[in-house]
Amino acid sequence: MIPGQKTDYFLSFMDRDEPLTPAGRLFLQPETSQIINCLIGVKNPIDADAFKAEVKNSVLLKHPRFCSLMVKHSSGREYWRRTEVDVDRHVLVFDKPLSDDPSISDEDSVNDYLADLSVSSPLNTDKPLWEIHLLMAHNCLVFRLHHALGDGISLMSMLLSCCRRADDSSQLPTAGGVGTSSTPRRRRSLWTLMKVVWYTLVYVLEFMLRSLWLKDKKTVVSGGAGVELWPRKLATAKFRLDDMKTIKKATTDATINDVLFGVLSCGFSRYLDIRSPKALGEGLKLTGAAMVNLRPQPGLQDISKLMNNVSGTRWGNKFGMMLLPIYYHKGGSNPLEFLKRAKSMIDKKKLSLEAPCSYKLGHFVMSFFGAKVTFCPTQLNYMFLLLHINLDFWFSWCCSLPAFLITEFFAIQPLLSQT
């Protein structure tokens, strides 16, 4: 998108209040309020004034969602209302180190800071629902974005538009090929179509039962009463991409996501071995969920297409959910068996229409009951609140900025890492 260019979407938005989408209203409910904390590390010291100047001139402040307050009308319905943005209230500068203890590394200090933000620092509603924290002593930035603004694909595509290419700093990085598959679509056989129908029926039924009452056996992973108020701990782990590629070659047609989920499965089993006070039965089931992009193009999107209302690649929360089961296996199991099981399960999930059906189901529940139960907002998301309660974990598929292509990010160069 060319800076200063206004699409019909922008112009129509500026003239009136815009109602929140059903997904946006879901993420604003107290029980399911979601704030995305995105950490970006840079190599060189940050110039706060130059950074603020870049933010003022970026596409970020030309986007209506980032320039609007969330207001509630007398009817109880939430709307976006355009307002003036005071960049100094959104870009917060922290000059001092986060910890005075020299034995605590930068990474641990920043992780603890993010963990504290996740439980103790909601976004103020008297300004648009985003902030950027500049951690000057650590050469880090923390983007805090309310999920009502958009999903991970929308927001990461927006951040990508604020970057420049490593080989030509005058050019924007392209979104093509980021998170996409080069495998051409093949014509499906009758047997494959029958499997699509079967897996869809089975997984959608399980999704509905899980949303209502079905839950797994309690384990040390499940937490306890008031778990949402417990102190948080953020831990990071680094994996070499070359190692991941080597592992995926051990199983035919495996993907990096298959490897990641295999690692997660193996990790959960080992954690349960160590932490469980009683012996667990082989094959004990833990169920999590992952959010799936439903746009025609997988991966990161072209920001100009995202802002084009008729392209089918619209801005916002356009995702479905898939349940992802993990089965406990005792220590000593071959680690590659976890990869094979993960691939088998994920291949079946990919064949099903569970994610699109969950999106339609959520849209129906929020749209239909939202208009009927104005004075009882918790009813709007009761089913999906139960889904949160009845799951053991949430899994986020990786959607990262291609750092190897990027040299400049909001006038800071170069980009080192992103979490």
Active-site annotation, residues:
147
What is the distance between the alpha carbons of residues 378 and 56, in angstroms, rounded to a whole number? 37
- 3-state SS assignment for residue 126: coil
- The widest CA-to-CA distance across the chain, in whole angstroms, is 65
Helix axes 190-212, 335-351, angle to 10 degrees: 100
Asked whether 6 and 374 are in contact (CB, 8 A), the reply is no
What is the distance between the alpha carbons of residues 272 and 334, in angstroms, rounded to a whole number? 17
**Residue among 278, 272, 286, 276 nearest 216 (CA):** 286
The DSSP line for 58-78 is SGGGGSGGGGEEEEE-TTS-E
What is the distance between the alpha carbons of residues 317 and 147, in angstroms, rounded to a whole number? 8
What is the distance between the alpha carbons of residues 396 and 251, in angstroms, rounded to a whole number? 23
DSSP lists the bridge partners of residue 288 as: 324, 393
**Strand 68-72 relative to strand 78-82: parallel, antiparallel, unpaired?**
antiparallel
Quick one: 49 exposed, middle or buried, by C-beta within 10 A (0-12, 13-18, 19+)? exposed
Helix axes 335-351, 241-248, angle to 10 degrees: 80
